């Protein structure tokens, strides 16, 4: 088979995020990687799955600006993340990395 004969399908991650639970788990895993670029891309997919128009309507975002912000080279601000998550019915939570151990700066 020649390379030109192969069919490549476009994977739309947003289509796989078909429930609130799937979106929540997807974003939790992205955050666990401590990679801002990955987080930004995953947030973009999550917004697409929830419906860009709904997110914009709930927060009064400018569509063009939100799209630019969520792109890999966009400047993602923390307040934007919080507003997007709120519009999706989600919030960030702080938890220990290892549940059995306290953070070393809290140890006595």
Report pLDDT digits (tens) over 68-78.
Answer: 888 878 888 99
Position 101 pLDDT exceeds 70: no
Q: What angle do CA 80, 82, 85 make, to 5 degrees?
A: 105
For the CA atoms of 45, 18, 23, 32, the dihedral, rounded to the nearest 10 degrees, stands at -80
Report pLDDT digits (tens) over 32-42.
Answer: 999 999 999 99
- The answer to whether the pTM exceeds 0.85 is no
Give 68's contacts (C-beta < 8 A, 6+ positions apart): 74
According to the model, what pLDDT value does residue 43 have?
93
Report whether 87 contacts 55 (CB < 8 A): yes
Q: How far apart are the first and last CA of the chain?
A: 65
Report pLDDT digits (tens) over 4-57.
Answer: 566 666 778 888 888 889 999 999 999 999 999 999 999 999 999 988 898 888
According to the model, what pLDDT value does residue 5 have?
61
For the record, the structure tokens of 80 come out as 């934007």
CA distances from 65 to 29, 53, 80, 91 (A): 26, 13, 11, 22
């Amino acid at each position: 088979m020649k390379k030109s004969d192969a069919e490549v399908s476009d994977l739309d991650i947003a289509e796989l995020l078909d429930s609130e639970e799937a979106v929540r788990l997807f974003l939790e895993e992205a955050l666990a990687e401590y990679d801002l670029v990955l987080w930004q891309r995953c947030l973009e997919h999550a917004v697409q799955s929830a419906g860009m128009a709904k997110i914009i309507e709930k927060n009064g975002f400018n569509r063009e600006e939100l799209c630019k912000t969520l792109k890999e080279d966009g400047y993602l601000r923390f307040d934007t993340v919080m507003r997007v998550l709120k519009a999706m019915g989600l919030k960030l939570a702080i938890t220990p990395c290892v549940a059995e151990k306290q953070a070393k700066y809290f140890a006595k």
